[in-house]
Amino acid sequence: MSSFYTNTYNPDVLSCLANFSNDEVYTPPDIANRIIALLPQELFSDPNTTFLDPGCKSGVFLREIAKRLLIGLEQEIPDLQQRIDHIYHKQLFGIAITEITSLLSRRSLYCSKYPNGKYSVSHFENSEGNIRFKKIRHTWRKGKCDFCGAPQREYDRDESLETHAYEFIHTTRPERIFNMKFDVIIGNPPYQLSDGGFGVSAKPIYQKFVQQAKKLNPRYLTMIIPSRWFSGGKGLDAFREKMLNDTRVRELHDYFNSIDCFPGIDLSGGVCFFLWNRDNKGDCKIISHRGGNQTSMERPLLEKGGLTFIRFNEAISILRKIQSFNESSFAHGISSRKPFGLETSIEVKKRQSNGDVKIYAYPNNGYYPKSKLLRNLEWVNKYKVLCAKAYGERGEFPYMVIAKPFIAAKGSCCSETYIAVKVCETKEQANNVLSYISTRFFRFLILLKKNTQDATSKVYELVPLQDFSESWTDEKLYKKYGLTEDEIAFTESMIRPMDLNGGENNE
């Protein structure tokens, strides 16, 4: 029996497919098996267990589950062909995301893209078997799809083209697709759709697959999805809140670098996969994967105060020590996304005229009429500690986390390229703020909330406010909060030193 799949399939084919796309990422077989291994293994010895992959691309999940069932049911159904027929007809089901992936998935599972043909290892009366694909149309209202939010101008296409209206999430009654209940829902859903915004702007849709799967109320749900949902934003806030407060999420594997799961695929913020257990509530076993190493800890998904999910297990003891001081957050007083109401695209002057103030903007600094500032006019004649709103990094730690901050002169403003981290009355106070920001301690706490390149006020929420009548160093902060040698070593392994020399610092 074991030679059946070994001789029929070449797993390297599906491994290669895993490098194709950033939007619809194909799952390597070894990752599929790590996810399947989260499930209770007795499921594969039960001839009544049913499995659904609602976002089939290569068919790798169903194929790997089939392998386990073929072994697990050997005593129950000794005849190999009868066992294959039972598994394929009664236990494994899939919904393909495109016509091409439906053919690929059937080829992976049935050894034939047409399971009613002579080459299929299990004969079906129809050409789909249990892996279906229906071309679905978006439901447009006010220029957007009611179900997935796709913009009509992008996806209202000719009938011959793929609509990317995925069947599983384009219905209010997903239970009617197969008219049956499932014990396990598993898969790697599509991650995003273009939203028609500037450049390569896209909106996430993977959360809709997770939400729809929960509606079917399976015993177990496990999926691999981008980790960006940890910090919410762009349609993910409600999903984030529900997931982090759902005590049925019993195991979570978090990969800070997506390449550790998907070779050649770089997804900002990394990826994760989880096990949701309908009938078992409690703390979550969180396994953090970083640079080939991993740590494991059972803890609530939300720390004290419910502010955020902490990705690194080693950071928990540090954060708890800091929070025991009950200090105000540094985030209070940080400006909004547009400190003076000015967009990045504004035109700046090269020369100063009457009534102009200096403006820090991208790509060039210059001058701008003070009369056109839309908010916070009282900040113009104060010292402002500015920092770029966006800063991205990839690869191995240590990270800088944020761009170098600088002091903006009196008589100045900025565009939305920057946020005003602190507004100060004196130059000395502003320099003390800079000393704090430059510490590894400060930027380590930002890292715990910063899962994308954006560095808006919310990523500063875990940073405690200090007395800025004095300057700050890592040594002073480590001593104040009682960090151990191991905690200091971990902090410094994650964060690079920041040298503020050469930065913009204008009075």
Residues 163-176: tens digit of each pLDDT:
899 999 999 999 99
Instruction: Give residue 110's pLDDT band: very low, low, confident or very high (50, 70, 90).
Output: very high
Q: Residue 61 corresponds to which tokens in the numbers above?
A: 């999940």
How many C-alpha atoms does 172 have within 13 Å on its Cβ side?
A: 2
Length of the chain (residues): 507
Rounded Cα distance between 488 and 413, Å, is 37
- pLDDT the model gives residue 18: 42
- For the beta sheet containing 131-132, the strands, ordered from the edge strand earlier in sequence to the opposite edge, are 131-132, 92-96, 51-56, 184-187, 220-226, 271-277, 249-255, 284-290, 293-299
Find the Cα–Cα–Cα–Cα dihedral 34, 256, 201, 454, rounded to 10°: 160
Residues 185-240: tens digit of each pLDDT:
999 999 998 776 544 568 899 999 999 999 999 999 999 999 999 988 888 999 99
Residues 288-327: tens digit of each pLDDT:
998 888 999 999 998 766 667 899 999 999 999 999 999 9
Q: What is the mean pLDDT of residues 408-420?
A: 96
Q: What is the mean pLDDT of the chain?
A: 91
SS3 breakdown of the chain: % helix, strand, coil, rounded to 5? 30, 20, 50
Residue 6 has pLDDT above 70, yes or no: no
Tell me phi and psi for residue 48, to 5 degrees: -100, -5
- pLDDT the model gives residue 232: 83
Q: Residue 270 corresponds to which tokens in the numbers above?
A: 């990394």
Among candidate residues 167, 172, 171, the one with its CA nearest the CA of residue 190: 167
Residues 244-291: tens digit of each pLDDT:
999 999 999 999 899 999 988 888 889 999 999 999 999 999 999 988
Instruction: Give residue 19's pLDDT band: very low, low, confident or very high (50, 70, 90).
Output: very low
- Does the N-terminal peptide bond of residue 189 adopt cis geometry, omega within 30 degrees of 0? no
- pLDDT the model gives residue 20: 43
- pLDDT the model gives residue 87: 98
Residue 138 has pLDDT above 70, yes or no: yes
Instruction: Give residue 1's pLDDT band: very low, low, confident or very high (50, 70, 90).
Output: very low
**All domains in the chain, ordered by first residue:** 2-134+181-302 (3.40.50.150), 356-494 (no CATH)
Q: What is the mean pLDDT of residues 484-504?
A: 89
Residue 458 has pLDDT above 80, yes or no: yes
Contact predicate 285/301, CB 8 Å: no
